[in-house]
């Protein structure tokens, strides 16, 4: 199931980045070296925009901040040098498998988790590469493909909304960026919005006002 999903999304990503004029090598290298799912879709916009490291930093932090909590719950004890790849290659699906699988006796836990991470990364890289090659070679009208990014984040938002009872963080995630958009403007509202969200969530967490 993960292979099917990753291939489909990866192909969509490959088509998307090539539709913006990038070489088919870009989806291969970005999927292999970045390997951050939805962040890779946002990366396309970043590559087409004036270089803004602060914007890139806060955007990547907010999109992938959940991995901080994944890492704290895993810790990867007694895995030696394998720990470095386990940290780099962790994604939602790999975390779910590695966290919940009861590994039989005699099987090295570190190697098991490395294989899970590696297989999932291979699925994603393969899908992105196929999409890049097809998108570059086939004469397909890709107008409107930008909607794939909107649809992806909409699906993630709806899934998160349905899976939690407390919708306050989700509401804040909409209201605060909208306020920053109105007050600051569309060109530079994202870094302040991301920073403000981060401060609000950290403060709420320590004061117990919002259960994140």
The set of residues, in sequence order, having a beta carbon less than 8 Å from that of 162 and lying 6+ positions away, is: none
pLDDT of residue 117: 94
Residues 118, 3 contacting (CB under 8 angstroms): no
pLDDT of residue 30: 93
Digit-coded pLDDT (tens) for 195-206:
887 788 778 767
Averaged pLDDT, 124-133: 93
Residues 15, 41 contacting (CB under 8 angstroms): no
- Token pair for 24: 């088919």
| CA 19 – CA 22 distance, rounded (Å) | 7
Averaged pLDDT, 4-26: 88
Averaged pLDDT, 45-69: 82
Query: Model confidence at 209, in pLDDT bands (50, 70, 90)?
Result: low
Q: What is the mean pLDDT of the chain?
A: 82
pLDDT of residue 176: 86
| CA 110 – CA 151 distance, rounded (Å) | 36
């Amino acid at each position: 199931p993960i292979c099917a999903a990753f291939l489909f999304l990866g192909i969509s990503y490959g088509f998307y980045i090539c539709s913006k004029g990038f070489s088919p090598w870009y989806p291969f290298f970005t999927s292999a070296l970045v390997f951050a799912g939805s962040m890779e879709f946002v990366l396309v916009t970043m590559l087409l925009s004036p270089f803004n490291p602060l914007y890139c930093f806060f955007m990547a932090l907010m999109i992938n901040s959940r991995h901080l909590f994944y890492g704290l719950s895993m810790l990867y004890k007694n895995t030696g040098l394998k720990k470095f790849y386990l940290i780099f290659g962790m994604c939602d699906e790999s975390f779910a498998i590695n966290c919940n699988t009861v590994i039989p006796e005699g099987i090295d836990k570190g190697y098991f988790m490395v294989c899970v991470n590696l297989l999932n990364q291979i699925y994603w890289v393969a899908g992105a590469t196929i999409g890049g090659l097809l998108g570059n070679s086939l004469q397909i009208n890709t107008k409107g493909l930008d909607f794939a990014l909107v649809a992806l984040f909409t699906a993630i938002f709806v899934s998160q909304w349905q899976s939690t009872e407390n919708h306050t963080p989700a509401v804040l995630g909409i209201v605060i960026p909208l306020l920053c958009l109105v007050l600051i403007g569309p060109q530079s509202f994202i870094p302040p919005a991301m920073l403000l969200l981060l401060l609000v969530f950290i403060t709420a967490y320590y004061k117990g006002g919002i259960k994140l």
